[in-house]
Amino acid sequence: AGSGMVIEADGTVLTNAHVIEGATSITVNLADGRSAEADLLGSIPSSDVALVRIKGVEALDTVTLGSSTDLRVGDDVVAVGNALNLTGTPTVTTGIVSAKDRSVETETGVVLDSLVQTDAAINQGNSGGPLVDATGKVIGVNTAIAGGAENIGFAIAIDALKPLIERIKAGDGDLGARPFLGVSTADLSGVNPDVLQNLGVSRTDGAFVAEVTPGSGAAEAGLETGDVILSIDGERVRTTADVGRVVAGGDPGDTVEIGYERNGEERTVTATLGSTAEDQGG
Instruction: Judge if 158 and 182 occupy the same domain.
Output: no
Q: Please state, in angstroms and rounded to a whole number, the distance separating the CA atoms of residues 238 and 229.
A: 9
Instruction: Judge if 58 and 81 occupy the same domain.
Output: no
Binned at pLDDT 50, 70 and 90, residue 149 comes out as low
Residue tagged active-site, from 98, 114, 127, 184: 127
pLDDT of residue 85: 64
In a domain, 189, yes or no: yes
CB 139 within 8 A of CB 158: yes
CB 72 within 8 A of CB 164: no
Q: For residue range 189-222, list pLDDT tens digits in order.
A: 878 888 888 888 888 899 999 889 889 999 999 9
Instruction: Judge if 194 and 139 occupy the same domain.
Output: no
Count of domains forming the chain: 3
CATH of residue 252:
2.30.42.10
Binned at pLDDT 50, 70 and 90, residue 109 comes out as low
In a domain, 100, yes or no: yes
CATH of residue 38:
2.40.10.10
Q: Please state, in angstroms and rounded to a whole number, the distance separating the CA atoms of residues 177 and 106.
A: 21
Mean pLDDT, rounded, for 109-129: 84
Residue tagged active-site, from 3, 43, 48, 279: 48
Q: For residue range 30-52, list pLDDT tens digits in order.
A: 888 889 999 999 988 878 899 99
Instruction: Judge if 197 and 256 occupy the same domain.
Output: yes
In a domain, 260, yes or no: yes
Residue 202 bears catalytic tag: no
Q: For residue range 249-264, list pLDDT tens digits in order.
A: 788 899 999 999 999 8
Instruction: Judge if 103 and 52 occupy the same domain.
Output: no
In a domain, 131, yes or no: yes
CA angle 103, 251, 20 (to 5 degrees): 55
**Does the CA dihedral 92-96-101-103 come out positive or negative?**
negative
CB 55 within 8 A of CB 40: no
Residue 18 bears catalytic tag: yes
pLDDT of residue 91: 85
Q: Please state, in angstroms and rounded to a whole number, the distance separating the CA atoms of residues 121 and 90.
A: 13
Residue 119 bears catalytic tag: no
Q: Please state, in angstroms and rounded to a whole number, the distance separating the CA atoms of residues 105 and 108.
A: 8
Top-confidence residue, 235 or 249: 235
Binned at pLDDT 50, 70 and 90, residue 282 comes out as very low
Instruction: Judge if 182 and 272 occupy the same domain.
Output: yes
Instruction: Judge if 268 and 202 occupy the same domain.
Output: yes
In a domain, 172, yes or no: no
In a domain, 69, yes or no: no
Q: For residue range 54-87, list pLDDT tens digits in order.
A: 999 988 999 999 999 889 999 999 999 887 666 6
Could you give the maximum distance between any two Cα atoms of the chain, in Å?
62
Instruction: Judge if 54 and 114 occupy the same domain.
Output: no
In a domain, 68, yes or no: no
Task: State the CB neighbour count (10 A cutoff) for residue 213.
Answer: 14
Instruction: Judge if 95 and 27 occupy the same domain.
Output: no
Type of residue at 221:
A
pLDDT of residue 280: 39
Q: Which of 62, 86, 103 is the last residue of a domain?
A: 62
Indicate the average pLDDT of the chain.
Answer: 86
Residue tagged active-site, from 18, 47, 184, 216: 18
CB 28 within 8 A of CB 82: no
Residue 90 DSSP code: P
Give the structural domain span for 88. Answer: 76-162
Top-confidence residue, 277 or 1: 1
